[in-house]
C-alpha cells in the first residue's frame, strides 16, 4: 500500500468522500500515537479496524471522487462484474443493513432506453416475493449512477460451488432442483415471467444450502413485449435460449426452455460435466447439433440413481413435447426422488413409477386409500362463483371438497400428498383449453392413474372432447349437466372406493 498523498491530503479525501467520520479519523490518529504519521500508516490502521475496505482505499489512492456511495448505500467491495453492470457488497449508511447493489456500467449511463430497461427490470423483479428468488428492494439514480439494491446472499454461485465440489451428491442436487423449480413456478404463476437466462452463475447457494435465482433475462422479455427488435437489447438476450428454441422449433419465450436449462444444471451438478461443450463462440453456441449430441447422463456418471437420471434426461429432451411441460410437473418427480433418498432407498422414486417393478408402491397406496372414510374431490376452477357452486354440489353428494384456481397447483398438492384427492374436476368453462391440457397430462401420471377425473366443458366447447383420450375412469361432461347426471358420474367413478358407497 503506497500513496502519493500526504497524511493531511488522505485524511481530507476520506472526509470529503464521506467514507470516514471525524470521530473515526480521531480514533485512528490516536491509535497511531505519533506526531507526524504517514498516509500509509493512517490507511493501514483504518483497514485493520474495518473503517475502510481495500476497495475504498484503492479509489482514494487513484484520485476517484465517486463510486463510494450509491444513494444511501456505501460500497464495501465488488463481488461480481458483467458486461452491463457491476455488483457490490454495500451497507446502508443509516440502518447498517448489508445489501448487494447492482450498478449500471458508466458506458451505458447516458443511454436513456438502456436506463429505462434497467429500472424496469428492478421494478418487475421487486414484485416477486419468494424464498427462492433473490429479492430486489428498489432502484434509483444518483447523477449518472443508476443502481438497484438487492438482498446480499451469504454464499456463492452454483458455478463456484461446483468448482470446489467437482460433483455434487444426489440429495443436495435434488434439493437445489426443488428450490429452483419453486422459484420458476412462482414467477410464472404470479407474473407469467420466465427466467430466460438460467445457468449455474445465475443461481446463488446460500450458506444454509438454499438455492436462490437471480438475474432474470429481462432483455428477451422486454423485446418480446415490444413486438419488435430493440437494437440495444439484441445482444443481451441469452444465445443459448435462442439456439434451443430454433433447434426445437419451439415458440419464442417458451417457459419450457427454462426447464431445459434447469435440466442442464442438474446434469452438470450430478456428473461434473456440462451436457454440451461450453464456449463463448456465438456461432458454435447457435449450432443446433450442440443440443442433439448430448449423451444420456448415465453414460457419463453411472452412480446416479436411475430415477434421477430419468429426470435429468427428460428435462433436456430437445422435443418440447417430450420435455417437462411445467415447473410443477418437474417438482413432483424431484420431490419424489428426495423423499426416496431421505428414506435411504436410492432405487425408487415417484419418477420411477414410469419404470417397471413398482407393484409394492402401488399396493401400499391402495391400502392407504381403503382406510379413507370419505372421498375428496378436487375442483380446479378459476371462477369463484362456479367454484363455489361445484363445492356446494359436492357437499350435497357427500364428498369432501378441495378447491384450487390453477392446474399447476394440483401437481404441487399431489407431490406433498399422493392421496390429496380421489377425483378431480377440471372446469374448462373458466380455464379454457388449459383444463383440457391438464386433464390429458394428468392421465399420463402412472403413479396416479387410479385417480378419477371429470372434464367439464361449456356448451360451445363440445368439440374439445375429441382431443381427449378416453379412459374408463376419465369422464367428459358437457353443459348443461343435471345434478342427477353428476351424481351418477361420481358414483360410477368412485364405485368401491374405501368404505364409501354413496
Instruction: State how far the Cα of 169 lies from the Cα of 272, in Å rounded to an integer.
Output: 10
How many percent of the chain have pLDDT more than 90? Answer: 33
Which of 25-39, 91-105, 215-229, 382-396 is predicted with the least confidence, judged by mean pLDDT?
215-229
Residues 247-262, mean pLDDT to the nearest whole number: 88
Q: What is the pLDDT of residue 367?
A: 58
For 45-85, what is each residue's pLDDT tens digit? Answer: 999 989 999 999 999 898 887 889 999 999 999 998 877 78
Angle at 267 between CA 265 and CA 269, to 5 degrees: 65
Report the DSSP beta bridge partners of residue 74.
Answer: 69, 91
Fold of the domain spanning 69-151: Phosphorylase Kinase; domain 1 (3.30.200)
Residue 245 belongs to what H/E stretch? helix 239-247
Q: When comparing pLDDT for 166 and 359, which is higher?
A: 166
Parse the chain into domains and list their residue ranges.
7-61, 69-151, 156-354, 359-493
In this prediction, residue 349 has a pLDDT band, given cuts at 50, 70 and 90, of: very low
Q: Are 90 and 99 spatial neighbours (Cβ–Cβ below 8 Å)?
A: yes
Asked whether residue 115 carries a pLDDT value surpassing 90, the answer given is: no
Instruction: Determine the pLDDT at residue 102.
Output: 92
pLDDT at 497: 60
Mean pLDDT of 468-487: 81
Candidates 461, 467, 401, 459; CA nearest to 438 is 467
Q: Give the model's confidence band at 259: pLDDT under 50 very low, under 70 low, under 90 confident, else very high.
A: very high
pLDDT class for 289, splitting at 50, 70, 90? confident
Q: 76 with 82: CB under 8 angstroms?
A: no
Question: Does the pLDDT value for residue 255 go beyond 50?
Answer: yes
Whether the per-residue pLDDT at 168 is higher than 90: the answer is yes
Helices and strands (H, E) in the chain, number of each type? 22, 14
Q: Of 202, 93, 85, 94, whose CA–CA distance to 146 is shortest? A: 85
Residue 67, sorted as left (phi over 0), alpha (psi -120 to 50) or beta, turns out to be: left
What span, in angstroms and rounded, lies between the C-alpha atoms of 273 and 278?
Answer: 10
Q: In a 10 Å sphere around its CB, with 0-12 CB exposed, 13-18 middle and 19+ buried, how is residue 384 labelled?
A: exposed
Of 38-42, 102-106, 358-362, 455-459, which range is least confident? 358-362
Averaged pLDDT score across all residues of the chain: 83
SS3 state at 148: strand
**Class level of CATH domain 359-493:** alpha beta
Grid coordinates representing 51 are: 473503517
* pTM score over 0.75: no
| Burial status of residue 193 (CB atoms within 10 A of its CB: 0-12, 13-18, 19 or more) | buried
- Predicted local confidence at residue 62, as pLDDT: 87
- Which pLDDT score is estimated for 360? 41
Residues contacting residue 227 through CB under 8 Å, at least 6 positions apart: none
How many other CB atoms are there within 10 angstroms of residue 223's CB atom? 19
Give the C-alpha separation, 236 to 245, whole Å: 16
- Of 452 and 121, the one with more pLDDT: 452
SS3 of the chain: helix, strand, coil, percent, to 5 = 50, 15, 35
Rounded to whole angstroms, how far apart are CA atoms 48 and 345? 52
Distance of CA 444 to the CA centre of its chain: 25
CATH code of the region 156-354: 1.10.510.10
Q: What is the pLDDT of residue 154?
A: 92
Question: What pLDDT sits at residue 160?
Answer: 93
pLDDT higher at 143 or 165: 165
Please identify which residue in the block is written with the cell numbers 368439440: 463
Phi, psi for residue 151 in degrees, rounded to 5: -60, 135
Does residue 288 sit in helix, strand or coil? coil
Cis bond upstream, residue 480 (ω within 30):
yes
Averaged pLDDT, 287-313: 86
Tens-place pLDDT, residues 74-109: 999 999 887 778 899 999 989 999 999 999 888 777
The yes-or-no answer to whether 69-151 and 359-493 have a common fold is no
Burial category of 440 from C-beta neighbours within 10 Å (exposed 0-12, middle 13-18, buried 19 and up): middle
Amino acid at each position: 500500500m503506497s500513496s502519493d498523498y500526504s497524511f493531511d491530503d488522505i485524511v481530507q479525501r476520506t472526509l470529503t468522500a464521506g467514507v470516514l467520520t471525524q470521530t473515526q479519523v480521531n480514533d485512528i490518529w490516536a491509535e497511531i500515537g505519533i506526531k507526524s504519521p504517514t498516509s500509509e500508516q493512517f490507511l493501514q490502521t483504518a483497514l485493520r479496524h474495518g473503517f475502510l475496505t481495500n476497495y475504498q482505499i484503492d479509489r482514494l489512492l487513484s484520485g476517484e471522487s465517486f463510486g463510494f456511495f450509491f444513494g444511501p448505500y456505501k460500497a464495501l467491495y465488488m463481488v461480481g462484474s458483467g458486461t452491463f453492470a457491476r455488483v457490490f457488497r454495500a451497507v446502508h449508511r443509516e440502518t447498517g443493513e448489508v445489501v448487494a447493489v447492482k450498478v449500471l456500467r458508466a458506458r451505458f449511463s447516458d443511454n436513456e432506453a438502456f436506463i429505462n430497461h434497467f429500472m424496469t427490470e428492478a421494478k418487475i423483479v421487486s414484485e416477486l416475493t419468494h424464498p427462492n428468488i433473490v429479492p430486489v428492494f428498489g432502484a434509483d439514480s444518483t447523477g449518472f449512477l443508476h443502481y438497484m439494491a438487492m438482498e446480499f446472499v451469504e454464499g456463492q454461485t452454483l458455478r463456484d460451488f461446483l468448482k470446489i465440489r467437482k460433483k455434487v451428491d444426489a440429495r443436495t442436487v435434488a434439493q437445489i432442483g426443488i428450490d429452483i423449480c419453486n422459484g420458476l413456478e412462482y414467477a410464472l404463476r404470479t407474473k407469467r415471467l420466465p427466467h430466460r437466462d438460467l445457468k449455474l452463475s445465475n443461481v446463488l447457494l446460500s450458506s444454509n444450502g438454499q438455492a436462490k435465482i437471480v438475474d432474470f433475462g429481462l432483455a428477451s422479455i422486454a423485446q418480446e413485449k415490444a413486438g419488435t427488435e430493440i437494437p440495444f437489447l439484441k445482444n443481451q438476450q441469452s444465445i443459448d435460449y435462442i439456439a434451443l428454441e430454433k433447434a426445437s422449433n419451439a415458440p419464442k419465450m417458451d417457459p419450457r426452455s427454462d426447464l431445459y436449462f434447469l435440466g442442464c444444471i442438474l446434469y452438470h451438478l450430478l456428473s461434473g460435466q456440462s451436457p454440451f461443450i461450453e464456449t463463448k463462440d456465438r456461432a458454435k453456441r447457435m449450432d443446433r447439433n450442440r443440443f442433439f449430441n448430448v449423451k444420456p447422463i448415465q453414460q457419463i456418471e453411472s452412480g446416479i440413481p436411475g430415477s434421477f437420471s430419468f429426470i435429468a434426461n427428460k428435462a433436456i429432451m430437445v422435443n418440447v413435447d417430450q420435455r417437462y411441460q411445467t415447473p410443477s410437473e418437474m417438482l413432483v418427480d424431484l420431490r419424489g426422488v428426495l423423499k426416496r433418498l431421505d428414506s435411504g432407498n436410492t432405487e425408487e422414486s415417484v419418477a420411477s413409477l414410469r419404470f417397471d417393478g413398482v407393484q409394492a408402491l402401488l399396493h401400499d397406496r391402495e391400502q392407504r386409500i381403503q382406510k379413507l372414510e370419505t372421498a375428496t374431490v378436487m375442483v380446479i376452477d378459476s371462477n369463484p362463483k362456479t367454484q363455489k357452486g361445484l363445492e356446494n354440489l359436492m357437499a350435497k353428494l357427500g364428498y369432501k371438497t378441495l378447491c384450487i384456481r390453477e392446474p399447476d397447483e394440483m401437481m404441487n398438492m399431489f407431490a406433498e400428498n399422493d392421496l390429496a384427492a380421489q377425483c378431480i374436476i377440471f372446469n374448462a368453462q373458466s380455464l379454457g383449453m388449459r383444463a383440457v391440457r391438464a386433464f390429458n397430462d394428468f392421465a399420463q401420471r402412472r403413479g396416479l392413474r387410479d385417480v378419477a377425473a371429470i372434464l367439464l366443458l361449456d356448451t360451445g366447447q363440445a368439440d374439445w372432447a375429441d382431443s381427449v383420450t378416453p379412459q374408463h375412469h376419465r369422464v367428459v361432461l358437457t353443459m348443461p349437466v343435471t345434478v342427477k347426471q353428476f351424481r351418477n358420474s361420481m358414483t360410477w367413478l368412485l364405485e368401491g372406493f374405501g368404505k364409501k358407497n354413496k
